[in-house]
Amino acid sequence: MPPFTHVLGPAVDAGVGKPQSRLVKRLSITRELIDQLPPLLHFEQYLDPGVDEGLAEADGLAFQSRGYSVAPQYTFEIDCRQSLPELWSAMHFKTRQHIRRAEEKYAVTTVLDPAFFVAEYLKNIAALGRTNLIPFDYFPALFSACRSRQCGEILAAFTPQGTPVSLVYLVWSPQTMYYTLSTRSFDPTDNGSVSLLIWSAMKRAHELGLKFDLDGVYTSGTARFLSGFGGRIKIRLAVKRSAGLLNVYRGLKFKPKQDHEFFT
């Protein structure tokens, strides 16, 4: 999928009519699209469940019928169209405590310079001794396009001295805001800046009348952290297919990821 794209179609117009008729048409169209894919070593796509509510799951059937593996990918979704008091009360009390303490220590502001986000992200990754795998060459143009369409924003938490502690990159469609990317400086005294930014994003999504997708649950630690914000688990479908030799290679190279905190 394109860089920074966490979910992707297909966008299919199944027309009007009874659900069964639309389902059959969608299956037919999606299978025809799959059959037009060129020869490949590896295919991987995370289907967007919001493309056609109630019928998007049919795409999994279409891919499965063409020999692709289909597996669930979990995320948390918060309906921020609720009132702010309802959103606040739905959170775990410890999450609320972290947010209150962070509000006393940090100021949240919008960052307009994508280079600032990239520099902080790379600095924090380097401090962990990790290799950056994100193609940030695309990021300035992407951020500029989102800003011009009023569908993207960078939020940052700063100390009173002006030092950035954590940053998040948000994008949204007419229906859903996505918690796309985040980074945090590893200050041992900070245990709430990311929670504060997520709460700030929830309030922004509320202003826009959107749902808020926390964009992926990959470890038990992530699940524990995200569950504190009062959302519900939602399933996306991940479809994959690899050539035989590539499967062997990937199996030899695979190493389980270590559980790590969500903000990394």
pLDDT at 180 over 90: yes
Least confident residue range of 7-11, 54-58, 78-82, 226-230: 54-58
Residues 6+ apart with CB under 8 A from 258: none
pLDDT at 253 over 80: no
Domain ranges of the chain: 77-233
- Dump pLDDT digits (tens) for 29-65: 999 999 999 988 999 999 987 766 667 778 999 999 9
pLDDT at 89 over 90: yes
**Phi and psi, residue 79, nearest 5°:** -85, 95
Write down the pLDDT at residue 171: 96
pLDDT at 168 over 80: yes
Q: What is the pTM of this model?
A: 0.85
**Phi and psi, residue 181, nearest 5°:** -155, 145
The answer to whether 107 and 158 are in contact (CB under 8 A) is yes
The answer to whether 152 and 111 are in contact (CB under 8 A) is no
Q: What is the CATH number of domain 77-233?
A: 3.40.630.30
- Dump pLDDT digits (tens) for 209-221: 999 999 877 788 8
Decide which of 233 and 191 is more confident. Answer: 233
